[in-house]
A and B are shown apart, each in its own frame.
Chain A
């Protein structure tokens, strides 16, 4: 009998899991530690210091990185907002309307940005913008980001909607709510946890993108990843490690936020 309980376990799997985590975290940890290194050489440990963080905010390159960070944040905010709104509208159509023609085609289309390799999207966007005579710059980055953010916003929203029965909306309609009211006052609040994690996902994905941005950005405008890439090309400097650590903390913060939001959504459901 005791052997039956062991059927789930395989010797060595725990060790491999720990190895997996070690592999995932070691490079990040090393960079985090070395970002506090008080030495101009990145190789030799010279004691703890915050000088590279000071350099990030007040150093020679500070204005460049500040502008890049502002661009990244404003593009991510706008792209994630637009993508979330489009995703909500698509999710309602896909999950609620039986008579929707071409559902399979629509599903494939929404997921197309996930299927086309990033480098191909980048090339196609560059060719397209140049063919129709769009000047590459802030606007082209924003449009490209909205496109690839849509599936990331859509997936959590659609997953959330799948668990919401439409009886609530039916009830609202029985009480003479207009479809718009039924959506705004009943369905939207119910799908809010999905909307929230969809938005966060899209936001992080936009913040993360290097390749497509690099193709459609044109000269004279940088986002944080393209600025970091340009800087890293000539060698890894300590201030890059400080920036990396800060960005890393932002990402971790967002994931935790998204995790907590989804847990709160679940708790609420269990209580009702």
Chain B
């Protein structure tokens, strides 16, 4: 990093006056087709819904009101807290949190194991971890669905083993969605932890062992704090996409396992849609994600300051 900055200062002459021009395409494309659309979405969340999709340009708080309050069938009763959507958010939060924990439990030992191989073997192990990530997410989710169906290979195998008498009903349950999320984002946990673990200085472990620390004490007191940046980065990389996931809850889950992604998607498909409500729900999701990311960025800058 330091080298990059040093060389940047020397080369100030080469691209003098052109830097702005070079960065311009990124600003134009991302600014115009992502930043502006997100602002537009914010505006739409305060508009009135058109019944066949789309909006009427009239200011309204109806979308946010619908999210948080229930005013009865005709909208004239005293407002009560509406739990339907809060529950969907709550389910998404714990499903994403649980997926993060499971990914950590499997991902940390895997990352550590790979980081302690000889360098020549590390690349091969890493390649094995990354290949599934590059396989189409839809295909991976469909594969999971095929595997855990009531009459699928997993149940057949377990019955053949004699572990279970009759097939497990996994499809359309929270367990299936959890499996799907875990499976989708597991490589995201392994890679950042590996990056941290690879830089770990083993003399720390030796010093701890000299002071009569046991193997697991070393893991808990010395290694885990040392690879914490990787663990945090990995957790964010699993948690954030899980929170807004669409494919896993949609294909593996059912009506009782509804998550934010499906709730939003439903507002923009077909005639039952409610664009302002979908926009408002998206804004709430985006705020949660941005809060997580800002806390992360702040902890990073504090770490660098130290």
A residues near B, CB below 8 A? 3-4, 6-10, 12-14, 16-17, 19-21, 23-28, 30-31, 34, 42-43, 85-87, 89-90, 92-101, 106, 109-110, 112-113, 115-121, 123-128, 130-131, 143-144, 146-147, 150, 161-162, 165-167, 169-170, 173, 179, 182, 204, 207-208, 210-211, 215, 225, 228-229, 232, 236, 240-241, 244, 247-248, 251-252, 254-255, 259
Contacts known (A30-B146, A117-B240, A117-B243); A124 close to B183, Cβ less than 8 A: no
Given contact pairs A123-B282, A127-B37, enumerate 20 new A-B contacts (beta carbons under 8 Å).
A3-B209, A7-B205, A7-B218, A10-B112, A28-B143, A31-B139, A96-B11, A97-B22, A101-B20, A117-B285, A117-B289, A118-B241, A119-B285, A123-B264, A123-B268, A126-B268, A179-B18, A247-B135, A248-B136, A251-B134
A179 to B23, CA, bound (A): 16
What are 30 A-B contacts defined by CB distance under 8 Å? A10-B216, A14-B113, A20-B110, A20-B129, A24-B129, A27-B143, A28-B135, A31-B142, A34-B153, A90-B22, A90-B23, A96-B7, A96-B11, A97-B18, A100-B20, A115-B293, A117-B285, A120-B38, A120-B264, A123-B282, A161-B4, A166-B8, A170-B10, A210-B137, A244-B143, A247-B136, A247-B139, A248-B136, A248-B139, A252-B134
> Which residues of B lie under 8 Å from residue A259 when comparing CB positions?
123, 127
Q: Across the interface, do A26 and B286 meet the contact criterion of CB distance under 8 Å?
A: no
* A63 CB to nearest B CB, Å: 21
Mark interface residues in B250-277 (1 if CB within 8 Å of A CB, else 0).
Answer: 0100000000110011001000000100
Q: Across the interface, do A232 and B26 meet the contact criterion of CB distance under 8 Å?
A: no
> Which residues of B lie under 8 Å from residue A34 when comparing CB positions?
146, 153
Say yes or no: is B79 at the interface (Cβ < 8 Å to chain A): no
Across the A-B interface, the 6 shortest Cβ-Cβ residue pairs: A97-B19, A117-B244, A128-B37, A93-B22, A27-B143, A124-B37
Q: Across the interface, do A8 and B202 meet the contact criterion of CB distance under 8 Å?
A: yes
Q: Across the interface, do A24 and B114 meet the contact criterion of CB distance under 8 Å?
A: no
* A11 CB to nearest B CB, Å: 8
A89 to B164, CA, bound (A): 59
Say yes or no: is B99 at the interface (Cβ < 8 Å to chain A): no
Q: Count of B residues near A, CB < 8 Å?
A: 100
> Which residues of A lie under 8 Å from residue B107 when comparing CB positions?
20
Say yes or no: is B36 at the interface (Cβ < 8 Å to chain A): yes
A157 to B129, CA, bound (A): 22
- Contact partner of A10 (CB less than 8 A), chosen from B11, B131, B143, B215, is B215
A121 to B33, CA, bound (A): 10
Q: Across the interface, do B23 and A20 meet the contact criterion of CB distance under 8 Å?
A: no
Say yes or no: is B89 at the interface (Cβ < 8 Å to chain A): no
* A162 CB to nearest B CB, Å: 5
Say yes or no: is B68 at the interface (Cβ < 8 Å to chain A): no
Contacts known (A96-B14, A98-B9, A150-B30); A236 close to B139, Cβ less than 8 A: no
